[in-house]
Chain A
Amino acid sequence: AQSVTQLGSHVSVSEGALVLLRCNYSSSVPPYLFWYVQYPNQGLQLLLKYTSAATLVKGINGFEAEFKKSETSFHLTKPSAHMSDAAEYFCAVSPSGTYKYIFGTGTRLKVLA
């Protein structure tokens, strides 16, 4: 079965520091991959998606992610954290041949002043 693993349920970074949120997926066929952000009591907002085009994907708010097939990873990065980045981040996979998403358990990002 397809799965998504997000290492680190909580990550803290200082304002201005690099943000790195990890996501690994299990799939024999490269799927579609997504990163979503969720602010308290809100729905999910798409940050970026990988759809088998460029392996380095740029998203909104300065985030980007790199698809590495050999490592089955799709880590999310941002060069410089901002206080407004504090939120929960979810990695999701849409396996080939299906339309549903399978989400990881999420990583709560805390940005320290």
Chain B
Amino acid sequence: DTGVSQDPRHKITKRGQNVTFRCDPISEHNRLYWYRQTLGQGPEFLTYFQNEAQLEKSRLLSDRFSAERPKGSFSTLEIQRTEQGDSAMYLCASSPRVGTDTQYFGPGTRLTVL
């Protein structure tokens, strides 16, 4: 069990560019979550997958954001036409099918949009 991993850890991009982040959950965890954390705030829920199905999306997830989890393993979060307001830490978490649904978080990807 190597924990949740995220790649890259840091991303600097120019406004208008597209970016893609990857999350690898803990093996056998069938639920995967994306959160966004801005400076001085707690994480805010973006979306959640159960296996490959995206079951819930927050209103924060505008049409410039898209998330996928093909084959129910790793997940990607893409942001198109980035804006300065997208600058944040993007956190991924996973949880097992059973139990009390504790979410285990990755180290995050810090996005800076110039």
- Please give the residue numbers on chain A whose beta carbons come within 8 Å of chain B beta carbons, in ascending order: 4, 9, 32, 34, 36, 41-46, 49, 51, 90, 92, 94, 98-106
Contact = CB atoms under 8 A, between A and B. Distances in A.
B102 A49 contact: yes
Given A101-B33, A105-B41, 15 more contacts: A9-B40, A41-B110, A43-B91, A44-B43, A44-B91, A44-B93, A44-B105, A46-B104, A92-B42, A99-B33, A99-B95, A99-B101, A103-B42, A106-B41, A106-B42
Contact of B43 (A51, A94, A103): A103
Contacts of A42: 107-108
Interface string B11-39: 00000000000000000000101010000
Contact of B42 (A43, A94, A105): A105
Contacts of A101: 33, 35, 43, 45, 103
Interface residues of B, number: 25
Interface string B55-88: 0100000000000000000000000000000000
A106 B45 CA distance: 15
B111 interface: no
27 contacts: A9-B40, A32-B101, A36-B105, A42-B108, A43-B105, A43-B106, A43-B107, A43-B108, A44-B43, A44-B93, A44-B105, A46-B104, A49-B100, A51-B100, A92-B42, A94-B101, A99-B31, A99-B56, A99-B101, A101-B43, A103-B42, A103-B43, A103-B44, A104-B42, A105-B41, A106-B41, A106-B42
